[in-house]
A = this chain, B = another copy of it.
Amino acid sequence: MGRRRQSVTIKHVAADAGVSLQTVSRVINNEPNVRPEMKERVQASIDKLGYVPSIAAQRMSGSRSYLILAINDRERTIADWKARQGTDWVDQMLFGGMLKCAEYGYRMIFELVDTHTDHVERELRATIAALQPDGVILTPPHSDNPLIVGLLHAQKIPFARIGSHGGEAGIALTMDDEGAAARATRHLIGLGHRRIGFISGSVEYDLSHWRIDGWKSEMAAAGLPVEGLLAEGDFSFASGEAAARRLLEGAAPPSAIIASNDQMSLATLEVARERGLDVPRDLSLVSFDNTPIVHFAQPPLTAVDQPVAATVARAVELIIAAQRGEKLPKVPTVVSGSLIERGSTAPPPGD
């Protein structure tokens, strides 16, 4: 294939406007030291010729790349894509991230990176070298991967850590997992429940612990026990089934269960059905994530929404601010999701 060169370059604009390249560059980048009339003249040429700067050239000459890289865990993302269960985490990331980037003249690039392999660092380093992004958005479990965090910190690339309470490096953002779990628990307590079970996610994820904490502290605040009411899952349907069985087969089973994601909630619903328990009459159920499938469950699930789009959008804003050298909050930015009440929660039996 033949060389494909830029059709309209800064040179054409400069020639058309009868000014130097530098002046055009100043106009493009909104720099000072250009007289308004000059600026106008140059802008007119830009519009007339339909000129758009080449990101490659901008990047080459050492300025911004206007690219923000968002990375997800490869394994889990591909598993979701294959399963086709309607998980829309990626969609919501793009929704929040791409649109916010566009507002600032940036572009979001979505990539997959393996967290687990020993060559995470090499993989990420390669992507960064190739793309030269102005910022990086990390999602769990990358957000707390010390190799990744260390690399980004060393390279001085602004980066957001979604679902992380952070540390020294990077910009931490959380979706208020602890608060959300507390709200879910409070909702159930308000309905009259006293034995509220909790199915946690994989302990590899910090957010699993935060959710447990929110539930525990709310239970404690209401003077309710938690012994025998916690079951560990790993976010998979199968693990949810097993956890629900453990909870419901006990001597004093809960009248309500909070499960740490939608798959495990669906599994719990299934186990309840098996055991002849009607939801919400015999068992109330609150889910986490609020992915599309919750509308389609029977009954539709009351769920804590994960504000993925809003959080990623905020991450973009913070990265761009950091990039501009603005001061950033030292504490994690919290974007809270709300509890969406649907048909899976009701007062406990006999209430």
Q: Which of A42-94 contact B (CB under 8 A)?
A: 50-57, 59-60, 62, 65-66, 78, 80-82, 84-86, 88, 90-92, 94
Tally A residues with Cβ within 8 Å of B.
63
**A91-122: which residues lie under 8 A (CB-CB) from chain B?**
91-92, 94-95, 98-99, 107, 109-112, 122
Given contacts A296-B296, A296-B297, contact A50 B155 (CB under 8 A): no
* Contacting pair B62 A60 (CB below 8 A): no
A350, CB-defined interface residue at 8 Å: no
Cross-chain contact B59 with A56 (CB below 8 angstroms) = yes
The segment from A3-11, A182-190, A217-225, A280-288 found at the interface with B is A3-11
Q: Restricting to A137-156, which residues have a CB under 8 Å from any CB of B?
A: 155-156
Cβ distance A61 to chain B, nearest Cβ, rounded Å = 9
In the complex, what residues of B have CB within 8 A of residue A130's CB? 52-55, 66, 107
Q: Is B293's CB under 8 angstroms from A129's CB?
A: no
Q: Mark A151-172, 1 if CB is under 8 A from B, else 0.
A: 0000111100000000000000
Q: How far apart are A254's CB and chain B's nearest CB, in angstroms?
A: 26
Selected contact of A54 from candidates B85, B132, B309, CB within 8 Å? B132
CA distance in complex: A57, B129 (Å): 11
Q: Residues of B contacting A62 with CB < 8 Å?
A: 3-5
Residues A92 and B81 in contact in the complex (CB < 8 Å), given A4-B156, A132-B4: yes
Contact of A292 with B by CB under 8 A: yes
Decide if A19 is an interface residue (CB 8 Å cutoff).
no
Q: Which of B56, B91, B112 contacts A90 (CB 8 A)?
A: B91
Do A57 and B60 have beta carbons less than 8 Å apart? yes
Interface residues of A in 1-30 (CB under 8 A from B): 1-8
Q: Of B86, B126, B298, which one neighbours A292 at CB under 8 angstroms?
A: B86
Distance in Å from the Cβ of A89 to the closest Cβ of chain B?
A: 9
A35 within 8 A of B: no
Cα(A2)–Cα(B131), bound, Å: 17
- Which of B7, B60, B155 contacts A60, CB < 8 Å? B60
When chains A and B are docked, how far (Å) is the Cα of A246 from the Cα of B5?
55
Q: In the complex the two chains form, is A88's CB within 8 Å of B92's CB?
A: no
A306 to chain B minimum Cβ distance, whole angstroms, is 11
Q: Which of B1, B52, B95, B158 contacts A129 (CB 8 A)?
A: B52
Interface centre among A95, A156, A323, A324 (most CB of B within 10 A): A95
A91 interface neighbour in B54, B59, B81, Cβ under 8 Å: B81
User: Using Cβ atoms and an 8 Å threshold, which residues of chain B touch A52?
Assistant: 125-126, 129-130
Contact B84 A90 (CB under 8 A): no
A84 engages B78 (CB within 8 Å) = no
Determine the chain B residues whose CB is within 8 A of the CB of A112 once the complex forms.
98
Contacts of A293 in B (CB 8 A): 86, 292, 296
Cβ–Cβ contact B56 & A60, under 8 A = yes
User: In the complex, A273→B5 CA distance in Å?
Assistant: 60
Give the CA-CA distance A95 to B90 in the complex, in Å: 11
Q: Which residues of B contact A3 (CB under 8 A)?
A: 62
- CA distance in complex: A36, B6 (Å): 36
A-B contacts, 10 of them at CB < 8 A, read: A4-B132, A6-B132, A51-B129, A52-B126, A54-B129, A78-B95, A86-B292, A88-B88, A292-B293, A293-B296
